A and B are shown apart, each in its own frame.
Chain A
Amino acid sequence: MNNCKYDLLIAGAGGQGTILASKIISRVALAQDLEVKTAETHGMAQRGGSVVTHVRIGSRVYSPLIPLGDADFLLSFEQLEALRWLPYLSSRGTVITADLVMEPLPVLTGREEYPADALEQIKKAAHRTIVLDTGQAEPLRRNPRVLNMILLGILCPLLPFPRECWEEVIRETVPPRLLEINQAAFRYGLEYKAD
């Protein structure tokens, strides 16, 4: 893993679980003896606002922030947020996004319009796009808060870290009473085949 570099941007709205997802990726990378830095959003911005977590993995990491145009992966919990953070993606980068639509206040109050073609715009701009059909995702029906685990499951085979390591980190990180549903969500992501 000499000279490797993986920059991942995790985007969502405040309270969706982006920070937990970044913690798990970080711990998996640490177990490979790689350096990891992350940058998070706290405070006022968290109140339902647009939030993003940067995760940088490599043999040597300087800035905790991914430079514009350098991200290898953009994991998004919502369509509009994937579109918002797209400029961070590299020309060879992959978008993994849930197809969820969460209308922000300017849209709810009718002042602005939600882009109806958000997914098309993402697919057009990104080298590769994987869209999670949340309506079909069984684990989400049991607990909508495990979306992060499904996205991590989709990400897992795209990174050169052993699956067992992800599973072990999830076991260590998730509270015992929520472990089973989180594991199921991760497996759902592992086996997920986008249309």
Chain B
Amino acid sequence: MSAKEIMTGNEAIARGAYEAGVTVGTAYPGTPSTEILETLARYKGIHCNWSVNEKVALEVGIGASLAGARVITCMKHVGVNVAADPLVTFSYTGVGGGLVLVAADDPGMHSSQNEQDSRHLARLAKIPVLEPADSQEAKDFVLYALELSERFDTPVLLRSSTRISHSRGLVALGEPLPREPKEYVKNAPKYVMLPAYARRRHPLVEARLQALQEEAEKSPLNRIEAGSPELGVVCSGVAYQYVKEALPDASVLKLGFSYPLPAGLVRRFAAAVKRLLVVEELDPFMEEQIRALGLEVTGKELFPAVGEYSTELIREKVRGESRGTIPPREIPSRPPLLCPGCSHRGVFYVLKQLKVHVMGDIGCYTLAATPPLEAMDSCICMGASIGTALGMVLAKPELAGRTVAVIGDSTFLHSGITPLIDVVYNAAPVTVLILDNGTTAMTGHQAHPGTGFTLQGKKVPAVDLEALCRAVGVRRVAVVDPFQLDRLRQTLKEELAAGEPSVIIARHPCPLLTRESSPPLAVKEDKCNGCRLCLRLGCPAISFDGKKAAVNPSLCNGCGLCAQVCRQQAIIPVSEEGR
């Protein structure tokens, strides 16, 4: 019997890459995909690197594939948008060594700004989609994907989701295949996509799609689990698990290889059941294709296109059963928030004080949009803060001097440099605040090119943010410590008034990374006048009993922001109490 281990879907995907003989892994961190590359990096003999963004991650992957290596490239769903440009044309060139692109969707938006269905992007690129339903399949499908990739000369999209990536289940381990990259063969008509060559490649892509459909018809990843002929359910991904649990008697067509849709298999299945249902999270991707076959099918008129599915949702919609017996209560929510000692807190406190428009970005600091800080006007996608700030100022010149872009260090390197160049190019009076906490904090503290360390902790030259900003033409570059509120406020006022492009780098390492802390603070009750100013910081260590503030010493990190904010000098280090 082979060894078994309990693994998250992400760990299983990494294991699959290891067993499949992958020698290059690339990614940009993004929940729920991050741990795939982190896990893969622990296997010996595989070159793993964080790329600066998903587009570059895929391009590095493409290069490695052309060179003959088996490759895995991982990203969250919205990352595939960033990588869409190389992806769609890579479909034309095809691969050298096999390449599997893992896209991790986030139905329910546990940690994302939208809940797009990344299968559409695979359809756009005309490449196959595999959808594992548990950790074992997550591993097995990676091996299948790489074999499929090489046999059909195509990149393959493996679609995971939060409930696949972050669920654990048993996985049978296999022996790794030999790690032997193929020869690199120069082949310009295949790999140089200028119009004359691309015109020759496109018909091959269409023919490949036909051949892939035939493959899907007989693929072991697609199977009919015969049950009652009354109801037949077509499903994929984690939705299969909910269906099996909620409708144990139903006939099920489980599609692990869901695009191109195996139309013949679907027709055969439909013919054997009285009523045909499609259960798929997010968009009616399979449903619309099935309806286009002329089959009568029920899907989104019964199930939502928003949020996650669950066993109880299917029980309710199909069997009319109620959800549980204990009703939910109206109780206070427990929203995620900036940690005690977070270097972002003071920045947003000051921005709110200054009443400026804050074009935000993706990272921990997006949490500053929520009460009590409420210091953000917009957040669209990675890197959007700077371009949107430029647009605001171009549309309404009177907003100049009152508009800032706020972006983290990792996000700035991901996609903030090009819009900053645009700000300079337009000579626009936009102030960009780079919150440099020296890490990619939100996804779990991954290194990036500004940190000077690789995924494996090897020291490399660090990007010099100040020099970079100056090099693209920003003349005003200031560096401040975001814990010095007065200095920060003063610098912001100066730069906003400067009337030209400016960058303020608010630099202080993430306290979760450095574990830096000072002795906790305490409130001197006789001095506290109950003004609640300190509560505006949104620090989880500060509470208010209706009359006075209090600091919870077990949560307090000793950063001292509250002491700076307090006008009564009522908050002091515990060590100075009683003096």
| A binding-site residues for B, Cβ under 8 Å | 13-14, 22, 26-27, 30, 35-50, 61-65, 67-70, 80-81, 83-84, 86-91, 103-115, 121, 125-126, 144
Chain B residues whose C-beta falls within 8 Å of the C-beta of A111 in the assembled complex = 371
Q: Which of B110, B244, B246 contacts A45 (CB 8 A)?
A: B110
Interface residues of B in 313-348 (CB under 8 A from A): 315, 323-329, 331-339
- 20 pairs of residues in contact across A and B, judged by CB atoms under 8 Å: A36-B170, A38-B168, A39-B167, A39-B168, A42-B32, A43-B110, A45-B111, A49-B336, A62-B311, A63-B310, A64-B134, A68-B324, A80-B331, A81-B334, A84-B331, A104-B333, A105-B337, A105-B372, A106-B371, A108-B540
A86 to B450, CA, bound (A): 45
Contact B110 A44 (CB under 8 A): yes
B339 touches A48 (CB 8 A): yes
* Neighbouring A residues of B8 by C-beta, 8 Å: 40
Distance in angstroms between the alpha carbons of A41 and B201 in the assembled complex: 44
With most chain A CB atoms within 10 A of its CB, the pick from B327, B336, B367 is: B336
Report whether A14 and B336 are in contact in the complex, using a CB–CB cutoff of 8 Å: yes
Q: Which of B93-101, B424-432, B542-550, B569-577 contacts A (4 or more CB under 8 A)?
A: B542-550
Pair A63/B242 contact, Cβ less than 8 Å = yes
**B168 engages A36 (CB within 8 Å):** yes
* B242/A47 in contact, CB under 8 A: no
Is B442's CB within 8 Å of the partner chain A? Answer: yes
Q: Which residues of chain B come closer than 8 Å to A84, judged between CB atoms?
A: 329, 331, 334
Chain A residues within 8 Å of B245, by CB: 62-63, 67
> Which of A41, A64, A87, A90 has a CB less than 8 Å from the CB of B110?
A41
Q: Does B238 contact A (CB under 8 A)?
A: yes
Report the minimum CB–CB distance from A36 to chain B (whole Å): 6
Q: A40 vs B110: C-alpha distance in the bound complex, in angstroms?
A: 11
In whole angstroms, how far apart are the Cα atoms of A86 and B242 in the complex? 21
- Interface contact B442-A44, CB-CB below 8 Å: yes
At the interface, is chain B mostly helix, strand, loop or mixed?
loop
* Chain B residue with Cβ nearest A35: B170
Which chain B residues numbered 400 to 431 have a C-beta less than 8 Å away from chain A? none
Given contacts A63-B238, A106-B333, 6 further A-B contacts (CB under 8 A): A63-B241, A105-B538, A110-B532, A114-B332, A121-B329, A144-B554
Expressed in whole angstroms, the Cα–Cα distance for A167 and B515 within the complex equals: 31
Nearest residue (CB) in B for A68 is: B324
A38 to B165, CA, bound (A): 11
Q: Interface majority SS on A: helix, strand, loop or mixed?
A: mixed
Q: Complex Cα distance A111/B331, Å?
A: 12
CB distance from A22 to the nearest CB of B (A): 8
Q: For residue A83, which residues in chain B have a CB less than 8 angstroms away from its CB?
A: 329, 331
The answer to whether residues A64 and B336 also contact, given A42-B111, A86-B329, A108-B540 and a CB cut-off of 8 A, is: no
Closest to A38 in B: B168
**B336 contacts which chain A residues (CB < 8 A)?**
14, 44-49
Quote the shortest CB–CB distance from A195 to chain B (angstroms).
24
A91 to B327, CA, bound (A): 12
**Which residues of chain A are near B485, meaning CB under 8 Å?**
none
Q: A44-B367, A45-B336, A104-B333 are in contact. Are A87 and B326 (CB under 8 A)?
A: yes
Give A36 to B359 CA distance when docked, in angstroms: 45
B498-509 interface code vs A (CB 8 A; 1 in, 0 out): 000000000000
Considering the complex, give the chain B residue whose CB is closest to the CB of A14: B336
